[in-house]
Amino acid sequence: MFHSTTILAYKGKSRSVIGGDGQVTFGNTVLKGNAVKIRKLHNGSVLAGFAGSTADAFNLFDMFENILEQKKGDLLKSVIEFSKEWRKDKYLRRLEAMMIVLNREYIFILSGTGDVVEPEDGQIAAIGSGGNYAISAARALNRHAGLPEEDLVKESLKIAADICIYTNHSIKTFVLEDKKEQ
């Protein structure tokens, strides 16, 4: 597990949301508190976030975005191709980063070993040092609070930030809505 951040993604009934905190640490020192670790890819149709080494994550983002363009935005085909490339390349296998990618249809965790994992519920995924706190909060809020998707992600990340020393309250989110609601 990476002691660097918290990224939470939620695929709700009408919106997909990804959020992340802004803390960047080096050992036991906070280097920056307002980093943006999430991105919109393929003309805003795919959301992605990373945890781990920043330099490694930027390399992964660039590689994944290139594959996504080659596959014309097909997220499922892109994550499969990404995993194949990751496993073939000795340099990539040493990268210390993970990603979450999602659109309105799919949500995946891309691990640091080239694995592609679809969450069991197909709805909520989290990575990073505060990921377990955020996903626990999101599951509870999803079950009992009836919050809108973006509020659920923000509140879950706030709970993680209250518990995890590598997560802060500088939260950024991106939202994908169903076309009929835009």
**Among all residues, which ones are annotated catalytic?**
5
Of 171, 120, 121, the closest CA to residue 150 belongs to 171
Q: How far apart are CA 7 and CA 13, in angstroms?
A: 20
Q: How far apart are CA 115 and CA 15, in angstroms?
A: 26
Q: How far apart are CA 38 and CA 36, in angstroms?
A: 6
Q: How far apart are CA 57 and CA 68, in angstroms?
A: 16
Q: Mark out the alpha helices in 6-98 (DSSP H runs).
A: 54-70, 75-88
Task: Tell me the two tokens of residue 89.
Answer: 């390349």
Q: How far apart are CA 7 and CA 17, in angstroms?
A: 11
